[in-house]
């Protein structure tokens, strides 16, 4: 018996080595095939999107005004929806070739892992755990915001630390739960958390005063106040910041080309705002002498070939949706019911942090 | 030694099944590793960073995942036991009403059973939950019985318990700051779930008990009458002992079903085992491992109820015919 165990232990490394060598050889072969295939086939995700003629984007099960909301005619709109549309235009040429697969906040990550959707664009904050443990990659951020607290004015609360012992409503399984915990731990105050899977239940619980306060990104709090509350003036968003919420699109790891297309689609929206290109003037801008404008709009070739897309993809995106500033204004800003100040989401030269790399 | 052919086939089948399962687990693990998704059970020791709504056990955002699972489990057990006890008691009363001679009571029983049994449980949960919303906000809480308060944040009642020095103490709820302090408290989420689960399961328990009573042959009652037993003694000493034997096995199933359906709690923000699991999946991304934990724990709970029920069943069977 003793010799037998000895034998197997000495045999194992040799076996293991042989197995590894075989595996490495196989991997090498696959790598070679992959390398030759790569130039023809851009990426597995883009291949699948082109084949089905449709981009599958994370939809919603309930309205989140300004981000993903449906109107009486059944048409979805919002910042998140527009980012999905922009991507559909980049890859397939039309905003109509985008399908919103309804998923709740809790379902969105398993849905992406299980390939039921190609991408998550759903008020999702970029953090370390999601980036590493969940096996995801985040795009360049398309919204910089922060979590905040909203209360009834009649509560007489002026700052977050006044809420010692209060009950807080928020969304289950989100970064907001952690931001809330961190805030109350930092200030050594007690609180009771009530987390809801459904956004409607969460908002209704707050409005019925089941909770003293509600925690969410500033834009979403504005939406609750504007669209769900009987009287918007009854509510006040407290000045405390409960941490940064950097919202970005989410894709599966291992498809760099797809991530590039997502990133540069967002950059194109930002670049267009910086260059003053709008949906209205984009066609006229094609004859603009500025080489930066010509590069972005595909007059000088490059933007298409480098990403494996049509040369005019950025032109088409701007033509159909407008630049980032227009998209923001229409969904969250001055031209929307929410009238939120873009703050950090202005271009860098206007005091914001929206900054795109060069399209050279 | 003669080996039975069917035994060999059975062994081969089990081995093949085990191999297929092991292969699936292995493939799943490889795929997770390839996708860069974290696996393993190390996360159970990690700090969650988020807090649960309410529990009889102490809890904080600094707790590790395993303790948060225990808190979820304790909430599931508290809810299930409360509902099993109440549903059984109310189900018995309803069954007796249905078995009685009053036509009005029988009609009421039939109406109740057909109504509550045929509306999906989740709809009932939302119905009761939205009803609790109709209660006034906490600062305008309704006082009743001179000691208790009802608000859309729950029912506050006096508490008899032990203080920090293990002395018996009696506290009354009183409003301080944002909430009532002292006293005991039942959350609207717990109330809505308990009422919904009890109301729904009462209908099934009543049907089960009723069928138990009906299963006792009529000539047993006639024989009892002939030997001069009163109606009440006939019922309690002849019908009930035999009815119990018929009713207990389906009742056990009903208790297991009740416990499993308590996982609807996530819909209204009650932190039971299932909702802790879903939160953990979302925060750690380790769906396979979390689901494995959930399946194991629910299996243990269900088998536990089953074992208790079977033990009881054996004890009642032993007293009668065997």
HEC readout, B222-266: HHHHHCCCCHHHHHHHHHHHHHHHHHHHHHHHHHHHHHHHHHHHH
Q: Are A54 and A99 in contact (CB under 8 A)?
A: yes
Q: Which CATH number fits domain A145-244: 3.40.225.10, 3.60.150.10, 3.40.190.10, 3.30.930.10?
A: 3.40.190.10
Helix (H, G, I), strand (E, B) or coil at B207: helix
- Residue B86's SS3 state is helix
Q: For residue A17, what pLDDT is reported? A: 55
| Continuous segment of H or E residues that includes residue B220 | helix B218-226
**Does A16 score more than 70 pLDDT?**
no
Residues A46 and A91 sit within 8 Å (Cβ to Cβ):
yes
pLDDT at A40: 46
pLDDT above 70 for B2: no
Residue in A164, A185, A209 closest to B177 by CB: A164
Residue B125 contacts by C-beta under 8 Å, 6 or more apart in sequence?
A: B192, B193, B196, B264, B267, B268
CA distance linking residue A297 with residue A300, whole number of Å? 8
What residues in B contact A181, CB-CB < 8 Å? 49-51, 61
Number of domains chain B is built from: 1
- Shortest Cα–Cα distance, A226 to chain B (Å): 21
Q: Is residue B279 part of a domain?
A: yes
| Any domain includes B242 | yes
Average pLDDT in the B86-114 region? 90
Average pLDDT on A66-73 reads: 92
Query: Could you say which of B53, B138, B267 has the minimum Cβ distance to residue A193?
Result: B53
B159 is a domain residue? yes
For residue B118, what are the CA distances in angstroms to B89, B114, B121, B125, B204?
A: 21, 6, 9, 14, 11
Identify which of A130, A185, A197 has the shortest CB distance to residue B267. Answer: A197
**Residues 72-131 of chain B whose Cβ lies under 8 A from any Cβ of chain A:** none
CA distances from B128 to A196, B122, B124, B269 (A): 17, 10, 6, 14
Taking only Cα atoms into account, the Rg of chain A, rounded to an integer number of angstroms, comes to 24
Question: Read out DSSP for B165-182?
Answer: TS-EEEE--EEETTEEES
Structure tokens at B93: 């009363």
Work out the minimum CA distance from A196 to partner chain B, whole angstroms. Answer: 5
- Check whether A281 has a pLDDT greater than 90: yes
> pLDDT for B107-157, tens place per residue?
999 999 999 999 999 999 999 999 988 888 887 888 888 788 888 888 888
CA distance A282 to A316: 9
First to last CA, chain B: 37
Angle B103-117/B65-99 helices, nearest 10 degrees?
150
**CB distance from B138 to chain A under 8 Å?**
yes
| Identical fold, A44-142+248-350 and A145-244 | yes
Pair of tokens at residue B200: 């729904």
Contact B38 A133 (CB under 8 A): yes
* Predicted pLDDT at A132: 85
Q: How far is CA A349 from the centre of its chain?
A: 24
Mean pLDDT is lowest, of A35-49, A70-84, B166-180, for A35-49
Mean pLDDT across the stretch B4-32? Answer: 88
Residue A18: its pLDDT value, please? 54
Model pLDDT, residue A85: 97
* DSSP state letters, A318-331: HHHH--HHHHHHHH
Tokens of B227: 């030997």
pLDDT digits (tens, 9 = 90+) for A222-234: 999 999 999 999 9
DSSP state of B137: P
Residue B300 lies in a domain: yes
Alpha helices in chain A (DSSP H): 2-40, 44-52, 79-92, 108-113, 128-132, 175-186, 199-207, 218-223, 256-274, 282-285, 291-296, 303-307, 313-321, 324-331
Q: What is the ipTM of this complex?
A: 0.74
For B63, which residue in chain A has the nearest alpha carbon? Answer: A181
SS3 state of residue B270: coil
Residue A354 has what DSSP assignment? B
Query: Does any CB of chain A come closer than 8 Å to the CB of residue B263?
Result: no
Q: Which domain range does residue B156 map to?
A: 65-321
d(CA B138, CA B230): 54
The whole-model pTM stands at 0.75
Contact in structure between B141 and B175 (CB atoms under 8 Å): yes
Using the structure block, give the residue that is written with the tokens 């006044």: A162
Identify the contact set of chain A against chain B, taking CB-CB distances under 8 A.
Answer: 105-106, 109-110, 113, 129-130, 132-135, 163-167, 172-174, 177-178, 180-182, 185, 191-198, 201, 204-205, 208-210, 212, 252-254
B233 within domain boundaries: yes
Q: What is the bridge-based pairing of β-strands A69-70 and A76-77?
A: antiparallel
Q: B281 vs A254: CB contact, 8 Å cut-off?
A: no
pLDDT tens sequence across A174-216:
888 889 999 999 999 888 888 887 888 899 999 999 899 999 9
CATH number of the domain bearing residue B112: 1.10.3720.10
B29 domain residue, yes or no: no
**Residue that is written with structure tokens 């009906």 in the block:** B214
Q: What percentage of chain A has pLDDT greater than the value 90?
A: 67
β-pair partners for B156: B149, B185
Higher pLDDT, residue B89 or B151: B89
Place of tokens 């202005």: A346
Helices (H), ranges, B35-169? 65-99, 103-117, 121-133
Fill in the DSSP letter of residue A102.
-
Q: Please tell me the distance in Å from B135's CA to the nearest CA on chain A.
A: 9
Give the pLDDT score at B139.
79
Right CATH for A44-142+248-350 from 3.30.1490.20, 3.30.450.20, 3.90.1200.10, 3.40.190.10? 3.40.190.10
Average pLDDT, chain A: 87
Among positive and negative, which fits the CA dihedral A93, A94, A100, A101? negative
B20 in a structural domain: no
Q: Which of A109, A136, A194 to mutate to test the interface with B (most CBs of B within 10 A)?
A: A194
Establish if B274 belongs to a structural domain: yes
Q: Is B170 exposed, middle or buried (0-12, 13-18, 19+ CB in 10 A)?
A: exposed
Residue A45 with chain B: CB contacts under 8 Å: none
B126 vs B131: CA distance, rounded Å: 8
Q: Does residue B286 belong to the interface with chain A, where contact is any CB pair within 8 Å?
A: yes
Please give the structure tokens belonging to residue A258. 């797809």
Q: Which residue has the tokens 């075989």?
A: A22
- For the cut 50, the answer to whether the pLDDT of residue A32 exceeds it is no
- Tens of pLDDT, residue by residue over A289-315, are 999 999 999 999 999 999 999 999 999
């Amino acid at each position: 018996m003793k010799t037998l165990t000895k034998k197997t232990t000495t045999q194992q490394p040799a076996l293991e080595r042989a197995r590894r060598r075989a595996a490495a050889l196989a991997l090498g072969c696959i790598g070679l095939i992959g390398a030759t295939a790569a130039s023809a086939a851009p990426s597995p995700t883009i291949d699948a999107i082109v084949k089905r003629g449709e981009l599958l984007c994370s939809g919603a099960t309930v309205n989140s005004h300004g981000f993903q909301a449906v109107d009486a005619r059944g048409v979805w709109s919002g910042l998140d929806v527009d980012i999905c549309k922009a991507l559909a235009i980049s890859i397939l040429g039309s905003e109509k070739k985008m399908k919103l697969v309804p998923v709740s906040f809790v379902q969105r990550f398993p849905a992406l892992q299980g390939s039921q959707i190609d991408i998550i664009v759903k008020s999702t904050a970029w953090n370390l755990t999601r980036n590493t443990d969940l096996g995801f990659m985040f795009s360049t951020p398309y919204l910089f915001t922060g979590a905040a607290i909203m209360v009834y004015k009649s509560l007489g609360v002026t700052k977050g630390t006044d809420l010692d012992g209060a009950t807080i409503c928020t969304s289950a399984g989100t970064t907001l739960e952690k931001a809330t915990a961190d805030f109350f731990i930092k200030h050594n105050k007690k609180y009771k958390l009530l987390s809801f899977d459904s956004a409607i239940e969460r908002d209704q619980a707050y409005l019925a005063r089941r909770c003293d306060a509600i925690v969410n990104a500033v834009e979403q709090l504005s939406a609750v106040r504007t669209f769900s509350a009987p009287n918007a003036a009854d509510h006040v968003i407290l000045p405390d910041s409960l941490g940064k919420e950097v919202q970005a699109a989410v894709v599966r790891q291992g498809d760099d080309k797809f991530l590039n297309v997502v990133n540069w689609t967002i950059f194109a929206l930002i670049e267009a705002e910086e260059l003053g290109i709008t949906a209205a003037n984009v066609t006229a801008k094609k004859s603009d002498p500025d080489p930066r404008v010509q590069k972005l709009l595909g007059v000088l070739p490059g933007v298409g070939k480098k990403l494996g897309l049509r040369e005019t993809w950025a032109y088409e995106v701007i033509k159909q949706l407008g630049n980032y500033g227009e998209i923001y204004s229409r969904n969250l800003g001055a031209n929307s019911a929410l009238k939120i100040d873009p703050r950090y989401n202005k271009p860098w030269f206007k005091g914001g942090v929206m900054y795109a790399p060069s399209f050279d | 030694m003669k080996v039975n052919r069917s035994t060999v086939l059975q062994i081969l089948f089990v081995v093949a099944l085990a191999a297929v399962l092991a292969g699936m687990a292995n493939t799943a693990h490889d795929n997770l590793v390839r996708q860069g998704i974290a696996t393993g059970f190390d996360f159970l020791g990690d700090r969650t960073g988020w807090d649960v709504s309410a529990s009889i056990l102490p809890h904080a955002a600094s707790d590790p995942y395993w303790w948060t699972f225990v808190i979820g489990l304790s909430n599931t057990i508290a809810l299930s036991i409360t509902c099993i006890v109440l549903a059984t008691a109310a189900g018995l009363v309803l069954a007796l009403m249905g078995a009685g001679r009053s036509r009005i009571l029988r009609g009421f029983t039939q109406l109740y059973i057909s109504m509550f049994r045929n509306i999906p449980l989740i709809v009932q949960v939302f119905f009761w939950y939205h009803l609790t919303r109709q209660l006034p906000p906490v600062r305008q809480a309704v006082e009743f019985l001179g000691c208790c308060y009802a608000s859309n944040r729950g029912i506050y009642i006096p508490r008899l318990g032990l203080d920090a020095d293990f002395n018996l103490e009696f506290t009354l709820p009183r409003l301080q700051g944002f909430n009532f302090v002292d006293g005991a408290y039942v959350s609207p989420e717990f109330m809505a779930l308990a009422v919904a689960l009890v109301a729904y399961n009462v209908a099934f328990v009543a049907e089960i008990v009723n069928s138990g009573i009906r299963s006792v042959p009529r000539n047993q009652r006639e024989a009892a009458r002939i030997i001069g037993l009163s109606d009440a003694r006939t019922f309690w000493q002849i019908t009930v002992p035999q009815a119990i034997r018929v009713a207990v096995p389906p009742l056990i199933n009903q208790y297991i079903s009740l416990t499993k359906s308590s996982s609807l709690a996530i819909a209204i923000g009650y932190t039971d085992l299932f909702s802790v699991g879903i939160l953990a999946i979302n925060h750690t991304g380790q769906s396979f491992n979390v689901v494995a934990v959930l399946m194991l724990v629910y299996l243990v709970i269900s088998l536990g109820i089953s074992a208790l029920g079977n033990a009881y069943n054996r004890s009642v069977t032993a007293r009668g015919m065997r």
